Amino acid sequence: MLNKLLNYTQIYNLWLNKGSTAVAAIELTLQQADALEEIAADDNSWQELLQISAQGRNEDAWLAADWPAGFDELLICVPLCKLVDWECAKCTIGRRQENNSCSNDYSVFGYIGELVTNADREGLKKHIKAVQKMLRDERYVWNIHKCELEMLKL
């Protein structure tokens, strides 16, 4: 089950092969979120994810390139990050979370790491639904202070 979540090189190369477009970045980020959802839903995979996450986070600040030896929530959004060359204010997600980087613990992707670190399986399942909504519909914004999805007020 863990192999459904692609590692950095796999997801990055897949994005390149799909033309490095914004549409491909969103599609592949959704694919990664879907894979994480499947992992969280499966008892064995969930336990494996918790074990992997517990290893090395204090020594290695960015484990996205280490999957499946290490887990970093930014692994989910690699295509979006590469699309904007890590300039968060240009990203469709970054713009909708007060221009914050997804490396912020309370950003839409950073919060995944918080939930996994705290072994909050139900919270993660619920949060992944919010991530998927946000990726599919630009009317949603992420309130980084409340850690919740909100409909954009026009």
Q: What is the pLDDT, as a whole number, of residue 130? A: 97
Confidence category of residue 152, pLDDT binned at 50, 70, 90: confident
pTM over 0.85: yes
What are 70-105's pLDDT values in tens digits? 788 999 999 999 999 988 889 999 999 999 998 899
Give the closest residue to 8 by CA, choosing from 64, 92, 91: 64
pLDDT greater than 60 at residue 59: no
Burial of 145 (0-12, 13-18, 19+ CB in 10 A): exposed
Q: What is the pLDDT, as a whole number, of residue 68? A: 76
Rounded CA separation 64/12 (Å) = 11
Q: What is the pLDDT, as a whole number, of residue 86? A: 86
Mean pLDDT, range 14-31, rounded to an integer: 97
What are 109-125's pLDDT values in tens digits? 999 999 999 999 999 99
Quote the percentage of the chain above a pLDDT of 70: 92
**Residue boundaries of the structural domains of the chain:** 2-151
Rounded CA separation 96/83 (Å) = 16
What are 37-55's pLDDT values in tens digits? 999 999 999 999 999 888 7
Question: What is the 8-class DSSP label of residue 96?
Answer: T
